[in-house]
Structures are given as C-alpha cells and as structure tokens.
C-alpha cells in the first residue's frame, strides 16, 4: 500500500515537474522577440513582373507609296505599290514588385523591343507625310507600329497605409473598364504608360473609386507627350459579373500628335491656321452599364449600354464636340458565347469626330487598325462576335459592318458627300494556354474597302488622290509568350 502511495506520489511529482518545465519553456518562448520582418524579406516575397513575347506580323495592304519621305524630300519609289510589311519582334519585360513593407511597396520594370525581321514601317519618324508619321528608311513598306525601344516601362511606389486604399506614384500601366478610353495598348510591343499619381479606393461596399493625375504619356511609338490628364472612374458592382460605371477624363494636352488626323490636312475647316497646330485638349464624360447575368450555371445573358459626350477642354479647339454610344447584347451557353453590338463615334458636321486617344483602340472596329483615329465623318460599327472555349483553347471570330456617321467625300466625287460605307472586316483567332506561364496565339484579320474615302472635296481620281483611301488590308499575327 505504502509502495503504491509512494509510486503515485512520485508519478504526480514527475508530472508536475514536467508541466512546470513546459510552462517555463512556453513563457520563455513568449518573451523571446519574434524575427523582425525586414525590407529584404519584402523583396524576396514580392511579385515577378517579367515576361517575354515573340511575335511575327505580316501586313498585305493595297495602296501606293507616299510621294515624299520627310517634308518635301522626294520618295524615289513614289506611287509604286506598297510593299508587304513583315516583322519579327521580341518584347522583353523584366521587373519585380516588392511585398508591402511598412505600408510601402516598390516596383520597377524595364522594357526592350528588338527587331529580328525589319521589313516594315514602324512610324517612328515624327515628320508628317500625307497626314501620317513614317519611318524614312522603310517608307515603302506597310506599317507595323512596333519600333525598337529600350527604356523604363514602369517605375512606381505603392502606399497602402489607409485601409482599402492604394496610392501609386510614378510611371504605371492603367486599364479601366473595357479599355475603350483608358488602356495600356498591351497588344503592341511598346505599351502606353502614364507618369503621375493614382488612387484606388474600395472602402464603400461593392464600389471601386479610381482617380488619377498624370503629366506625361509615353505612346506606342515611344513618343512622350507632356500635359495634364485627370481621371475619375467610379464603378458600382450590381453583382460579381455586372456593374455600372460613371467616368470623366479631362485631357489638357495640346499636342497628342493628332492635329491633322483629327481635323484634316493643312487648314481644312480652320481658317488661316494649320490643323497640325490645333489644340487637342478635350474632356469626356460618360456612363456605362455592362455585365453578364447568369440564369443558371450553363446559361447567361450579356448586355452593354454606354453613352459619353466629348467637348473641348481648357484651350481645346472648339470643333471638338461629339458623342459616343455602344449598345448590344447576346447569350452564352456552356462554353459558347454570341452577341451583337453597335458602336457609334459621332461626327461634328464632318469637321471633327469622337476620339479615344488614350484607349486600346486595336481591340475596336476590327483588329486591322484602319480606324485607330476616327475619320472626321465618324464611325458606326455594327458587329457580331462569337467565342468558344474548349479545354485549353479559346476560339474567337467577329464580323464588322463599318459605316460613317455622316456622308463623306469620295475619290473623284467632286464636292458631293456621296459615301457612307467605309468597308467590312472579319477577324479570327485561336489561343492555346499550354500552362499558366506559356501561351501561343494565331490571329488573322481582313478589311475590305467599300466606298473610296477621300479626305476632302474635289479629290481627283489619280495616284495622289488615292493616298487617303482606306484600302483593302490583310494581317496575320503569330505570337508566343512566356510569363514568369
């Protein structure tokens, strides 16, 4: 009995000692300072911003070579058939963004675009030739706007010291909504980036508020434009896939490089002043309703309704006065989607048309890029779109009927405005996502001219008169991309 009692007492004492020892070790562990989170830890746990994109592009465009290369310098092969453009380029983006450290994170990204095949006009010469910029050495080729370029693509600091708020200062990419008005034009090898300060706030439930002030814009030709661009974009999410957006874009940039393209060559509709010097400052205010409404997991409806008004701003040219709308909808079933849309960029009495100088315009009115700048007669684009996803493949097709808002002059048509059909375009693409890092894509687009567009009245039906036409064009793209 005594032995059992002694054994039990020894066991209790041993357990008590073990428990006290564990408590002491636990207390010591709590008192020991935790490893300090350093800036190097933030660097190590950051985000990779590196990718490599190889692209082959071929452009088969009807038309003639310009008469001059720079100013009045004659082009020795003027009025000969334009040569097919062919380019093979590699875009290298190398960058890193740190994780937040004391509410700050830092990002830097370099860009290099290298040409391996250079049989194309990359539009880097800033002297206007027939209303457009041309690369002198390759002026006989069709255009592919992918110039050689090495520089800083993004360089910014983020501050997140206020809950649900991000303040970003520096050079940055910006993509808003469907990138119709504000985008980085990521399709091109040199992207459009903005220098300044932006704020993104998500404090209000289901609401995103984006505001920005930028003072420099780097365009896809690598040209930099100084001025002031103020942005306000407020999005309210009706559901995870439906939203309403109100926006205002105030551009006080007198020279975006579009003077002749927006208002016409020389002094057209501008008294004694040259249109190349016309102030391009403008403001755009709009409202957008867009979404996909699911009826069940396999069946859904798509819809869009948008309106915007564009007028002169600051010292902008008074001819800047036009409006925009987009309406459309469609259905989706399982992996198939189909929709019909119409988009209007209106004309102001053939003196000016609604413009989107900061948008990713390649994605609109067809991929062949015939309407990156809206002709003064405006554009009414009615189009159908279909997509289908199968495994890791995505297939795309669309067809566009591209007309004007107001009738335009035609080649040889005298003073009458007797044309209203620019042409038709169709595009197809297949994308293969081999993995989250590797993507391959093939794309094709074909534009066919209808009425022969003339930039003004009394354009004679000769070689010089035909230079302003929007000619038949076919384009092919083969793309491979690796993203880290």
Amino acid 466: pLDDT: 84
Amino acid 200: pLDDT: 99
**Conformation bin of residue 78: beta by default, left when phi > 0, alpha when psi is -120 to 50:** beta
Q: What is the pLDDT of residues 234-256, one digit of tens each?
A: 999 999 999 999 999 999 998 89
Amino acid 302: pLDDT: 99
CB–CB of 125/133 below 8 Å?
yes
Residue of higher predicted confidence among 69 and 473: 473
Amino acid 198: pLDDT: 99
Long-range CB contacts for residues 36-45, cutoff 8 Å, separation at least 24: 37/101, 38/101, 39/98, 39/101, 41/99, 41/101, 42/98, 42/99, 42/100, 42/101, 42/105, 43/96, 43/98, 43/99, 45/99
Amino acid 250: pLDDT: 99
Write out the two tokens for 36. Answer: 């300090």
Amino acid 257: pLDDT: 86
Among 24-33, 34-43, 105-114, 437-446, which is the least confidently predicted range? 24-33
Among 7-11, 147-151, 294-298, 403-407, which is the least confidently predicted range? 7-11
Amino acid 66: pLDDT: 77
Percent of the chain with pLDDT over 90: 76
Q: Quick one: DSSP state of residue 36?
A: P
Amino acid 26: pLDDT: 38
Mean pLDDT to the nearest integer, 144-162: 97
Q: Is the pLDDT of residue 136 over 60?
A: yes
Amino acid 14: pLDDT: 41
Q: Quick one: DSSP state of residue 458?
A: T
Amino acid 72: pLDDT: 66
Q: Is the pLDDT of residue 472 over 60?
A: yes
Of the pLDDT bands very low, low, confident and very high (cuts 50, 70, 90), residue 128 is low
Q: Rounded distance, CA 379 to CA 400, Å?
A: 12
CB–CB of 256/225 below 8 Å?
yes
Q: Domains of the chain: which residue ranges?
A: 42-157
Mean pLDDT to the nearest integer, 384-412: 98
Percent of the chain with pLDDT over 70: 90
Of the pLDDT bands very low, low, confident and very high (cuts 50, 70, 90), residue 93 is very high
pTM flag (> 0.75): yes
Amino acid 33: pLDDT: 46
Amino acid 347: pLDDT: 98
Amino acid 269: pLDDT: 87
CB–CB of 439/480 below 8 Å?
yes
Amino acid 28: pLDDT: 39
Amino acid 10: pLDDT: 44
Q: Is the pLDDT of residue 306 over 80?
A: yes
Q: What angle do CA 205, 207, 208 make, to 5 degrees?
A: 135
Among 156-160, 275-279, 356-360, which is the least confidently predicted range? 275-279
Average pLDDT of the chain is 90
Looking up tokens 């010291």 gives: 161
Q: What is the pLDDT of residues 39-87, one digit of tens each?
A: 999 999 999 999 999 999 999 999 888 777 666 677 788 888 999 999 9
Among 54-68, 126-140, 184-198, 218-232, which is the least confidently predicted range? 126-140
Q: Is the pLDDT of residue 17 over 60?
A: no
Q: Is the pLDDT of residue 223 over 50?
A: yes
Residue of higher predicted confidence among 456 and 46: 46
Q: Is the pLDDT of residue 6 over 50?
A: no
């Amino acid at each position: 009995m005594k032995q059992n009692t002694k054994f039990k007492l020894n066991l209790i004492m041993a357990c008590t000692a073990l428990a006290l020892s564990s408590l002491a070790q636990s207390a010591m562990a709590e008192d020991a300072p935790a490893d300090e989170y350093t800036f190097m830890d933030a660097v190590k746990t950051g985000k990779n911003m590196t990718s490599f994109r190889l692209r082959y592009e071929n452009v088969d465009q009807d038309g003639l070579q310009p008469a001059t290369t720079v100013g009045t310098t004659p082009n020795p092969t003027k009025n000969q058939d334009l040569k097919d453009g062919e380019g093979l380029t590699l875009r290298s983006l190398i960058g890193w963004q740190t994780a937040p450290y004391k509410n700050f994170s830092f990002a830097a990204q370099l860009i290099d675009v290298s040409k391996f095949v250079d049989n194309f006009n990359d539009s880097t010469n800033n002297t206007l030739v027939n209303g457009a910029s041309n690369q002198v050495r390759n002026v006989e080729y069709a255009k592919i706007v992918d110039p050689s370029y090495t520089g800083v693509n993004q360089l910014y600091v983020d501050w997140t010291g206020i809950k649900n708020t991000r303040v970003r200062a520096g050079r940055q990419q910006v993509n808003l909504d469907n990138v119709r008005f504000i985008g980085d034009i990521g399709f091109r090898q040199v992207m459009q980036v903005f220098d300044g300060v932006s704020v993104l706030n998500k404090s209000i439930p289901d609401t995103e508020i984006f505001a920005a002030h930028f003072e420099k814009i780097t365009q896809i030709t690598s040209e930099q434009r100084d001025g002031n661009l103020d942005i306000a974009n407020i999005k309210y999410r009706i559901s995870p896939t439906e939203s309403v957006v109100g926006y205002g874009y105030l551009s006080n940039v007198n020279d975006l490089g579009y003077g002749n393209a927006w208002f016409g060559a020389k002094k057209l509709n501008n008294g004694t002043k040259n249109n190349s010097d016309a102030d391009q400052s403008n403001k755009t205010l709009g409202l957008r309703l867009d979404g996909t409404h699911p009826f069940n997991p396999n069946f859904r409806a798509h819809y869009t309704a948008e309106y915007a008004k564009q007028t002169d701003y600051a010292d902008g040219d008074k001819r800047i006065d036009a409006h925009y709308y987009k309406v459309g909808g469609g259905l989706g079933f399982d992996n198939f989607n189909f929709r019909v849309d119409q988009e209007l960029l209106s004309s102001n009495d053939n003196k000016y048309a609604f413009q989107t100088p900061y948008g990713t315009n390649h994605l609109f009115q067809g991929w062949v890029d015939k309407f990156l700048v809206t002709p003064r007669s405006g554009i009414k684009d009615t189009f159908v779109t279909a997509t289908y996803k199968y495994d890791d493949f995505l297939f795309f097709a669309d067809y566009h009927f591209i007309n004007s808002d107001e009738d335009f002059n035609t080649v040889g048509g005298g003073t009458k405005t007797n044309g209203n059909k620019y042409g038709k375009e169709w595009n197809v693409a297949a994308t293969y996502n081999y993995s989250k890092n590797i993507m391959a894509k093939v794309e094709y687009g074909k534009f066919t001219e209808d009425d022969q567009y003339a930039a003004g009245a009394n354009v004679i039906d000769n070689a010089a008169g035909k230079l302003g036409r929007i000619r038949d064009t076919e384009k092919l793209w083969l793309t491979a991309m690796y993203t880290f």
